[in-house]
Amino acid sequence: MKGIRPATATDSCRRVRPEIFGDGGRGQEYYLRKIAEGKTPAEARRALKRHLPDVVCRALKRDRHKAHTTVA
């Protein structure tokens, strides 16, 4: 069907990014740290985009581990 496409990892990052990057969040800290390292704003955003999947994956693994330890 034309006009309908499956969700991609990029789409997911766009949905998660405001939650993590919001006012004073860890994403903003990460972004500002990259700027302090001498990255341009575009490079810092790119680094944040690459960092987000790692953050989400760690959270999912942590939640899965908690679920297994509480069930057992």
HEC profile of 7-69: CCHHHHHHHHHHHHHCCCCHHHHHHHHHHHCCCCHHHHHHHHHHHHHHHHHHHHHHHHHHHHH
Report the pLDDT value the prediction gives residue 18, as an integer from 0 to 100. Answer: 62
Cβ 48 vs Cβ 30: under 8 Å: yes
**How is the chain split into domains, by residue range?**
23-71
- Summarised one tens digit per residue, pLDDT across range 38-69 is 999 999 999 998 988 888 888 888 888 777 77
Q: Which residue would you say has higher pLDDT here, 9 or 72?
A: 9
Using CA atoms, how far apart are residues 51 and 33, in angstroms rounded to an integer?
A: 13
pTM of the prediction? 0.59
